[in-house]
Amino acid sequence: MIALDSKILSAAATRRRTRVRRTAATIGVTATALILAACGSSSSGSQAASGGSSAGSSAHSDYLACLMISSTGIADRSFNQSAWAAMTEAQTKLGIKVKYLAQSGSTDYSTLGAEFVQGGCNMIIGVGFNTQTAIDALAPANPSIKFALIDSTLTTKSANAVSLTYQTDQAGFLGGYLAAGLSKSGTVGVYGNEAIPPVELYMTGYVYGVEHYNAVHHTSVKVVGWDPVGKTGQFVGSFTDVNKGKLITEAEIQQGADVIFPVAGPIDEGTATAIQAAGGPAAGYYMLWVDSDGCVSNPDACDVIVSTVQKNIQTSLYTVIDKTVTGAFPSGSYVGTLANDGVGLAPYHSLAGDVPAALQAEITQLTKDLISGKVKVAAS
């Protein structure tokens, strides 16, 4: 595994802020099938939504970085939005050009990737495990182009490709500790969108964080929604069904949970609605958002979001783009951790007063202990 060097990661830490295998290189794409269009535009039917923008002239003004995202769109308040924020940050600070295409209908990621190759992209980035097959095929076939895969690991090792993965069990551990410390009922909840490894990693860390709180405080806070040993739990079975997320939250509230962590991207909105309907913090109900700071991406729900268990995609992707543009492409793997600001807890924002000072101090120290290795993310 090849990691980003510590100096670059340290500098990046100041910017906190998804299978049928197909050989994409052989797919023929007609010029009229997809168009790399201006930012905010979209196509219809089976074609892909697309967007793009460019900065003024600079030393890197001819460099084009291209992003493949899921059909949930660029404003999904989750991975896509965070990745696009990194792209636009790179546009502003590095002077590069950036574009994106979203999967839609029958247009798959291999087709999007082939279009990007044809369109002259210098760097192609895929968001989520669903883009892995396309990048695995495209990278070795196009050695002059740099490739990055977010939140999954490439199986084909290429000198021009990097996988960005995240140790979200560390951040989930902090989230579980916070939830247990905030709970008045002695029960907290969690659920996921799909039963896939990146989602389960978050959930497992959360459960172990609750267990660690119990061990430290000699309490018996329980978790509904996930058993990390039996790997059974509550899942929406979708990446977009906000209403089902709301129904799951309501069911966990009925089971006694007063702090709930949905590992569900934009479906988190359903949990926010249910928590607000239950009376929110005034009635003792809170939620943890996931991935991107919920108070920033969804301010209408900030009144019930005590914190966000973050996967800092913007920070890490910007770092990779920066290194790539300046000729130091970090092939291999980047692993986001608490130590390099790749994962973490977001600020408590308006609910900081609801989190006891002693609990805040414990979480600050726990973060240090996880970084140093004094505390391990494991069953207590």
pLDDT of residue 71: 84
Same domain for 246 and 354, yes or no, is yes
Largest CA distance in the chain: 65
Mean pLDDT value across the chain: 86
4 lies in some domain: no
Mean pLDDT of 359-371: 98
Are 166 and 139 spatial neighbours (Cβ–Cβ below 8 Å)? no
C-alpha count within 13 angstroms, C-beta hemisphere, residue 176: 34
Mean pLDDT of 196-220: 97
Q: How many domains does the chain have?
A: 2
For residue 8, is pLDDT > 90?
no
Same domain for 59 and 110, yes or no, is yes
- Which domain, by its residues, includes 29? 19-150
Q: Is 6 helix (H, G, I), strand (E, B) or coil?
A: helix
pLDDT of residue 51: 59
Grade residue 9 by pLDDT with cuts at 50, 70 and 90. Answer: very low
Grade residue 98 by pLDDT with cuts at 50, 70 and 90. Answer: very high
Same domain for 213 and 270, yes or no, is yes
For residue 6, is pLDDT > 60?
no
pLDDT, tens only, 247-288: 999 999 999 999 999 999 889 999 999 999 999 999 999 999
Name the DSSP class of 191: E
Q: What is the DSSP string of 96-164?
A: -EEEEEE-BTTB-HHHHHHHHHHTT-SEEEEESGGGHHHHHHHHHH-TTSEEEEESS--SS--TTEEEE
Contacts of 227 (CB under 8 A, 6+ apart): 207, 233
Q: Which residues does residue 148 pair with via DSSP β-bridges, in sequence order?
A: 125, 162
Mean pLDDT of 60-65: 93
* Residue 167 token pair: 């140790």
Same domain for 238 and 351, yes or no, is yes
C-alpha count within 13 angstroms, C-beta hemisphere, residue 167: 17
Same domain for 352 and 209, yes or no, is yes
160 lies in some domain: no
Mean pLDDT of 315-321: 93
Question: CA 6 to CA 304: how far, in whole Å?
Answer: 36
323 lies in some domain: no
Same domain for 224 and 362, yes or no, is yes
Are 341 and 9 spatial neighbours (Cβ–Cβ below 8 Å)? yes
pLDDT of residue 21: 36
CATH code assigned at 267: 3.40.50.2300
5 lies in some domain: no
- What element of type H or E holds 244? helix 242-254
Phi, psi dihedral angles at 345 (to 5 degrees): -100, 140
- Of 54-68, 114-128, 174-188, 215-229, least confident by mean pLDDT is 54-68
Question: CA 332 to CA 156: how far, in whole Å?
Answer: 10
Same domain for 246 and 131, yes or no, is no
pLDDT of residue 25: 37
For residue 45, is pLDDT > 80?
no
72 lies in some domain: yes
- Of 38-47, 309-318, 365-374, least confident by mean pLDDT is 38-47
Same domain for 205 and 79, yes or no, is no
Same domain for 290 and 364, yes or no, is yes
Grade residue 73 by pLDDT with cuts at 50, 70 and 90. Answer: confident
Same domain for 90 and 179, yes or no, is no
pLDDT, tens only, 124-176: 999 988 899 999 999 999 999 999 999 889 998 899 999 999 999 999 999 99
Mean pLDDT of 230-239: 96
Q: Is 279 helix (H, G, I), strand (E, B) or coil?
A: coil
| Domain final position from 116, 150, 184 | 150
Grade residue 52 by pLDDT with cuts at 50, 70 and 90. Answer: low
pLDDT of residue 59: 76
Q: Which amino acid is at 196?
A: I
Strands (E), the chain: 49-54, 64-69, 97-102, 123-127, 146-150, 161-166, 187-192, 222-224, 226-227, 232-233, 259-263, 286-291, 305-311, 332-336, 343-345
- Could you report how far apart the first and last alpha carbons of the chain are, in Å? 29
How many Cβ atoms sit within 10 Å of the Cβ of residue 280?
Answer: 17
Same domain for 114 and 211, yes or no, is no
Mean pLDDT of 49-53: 55
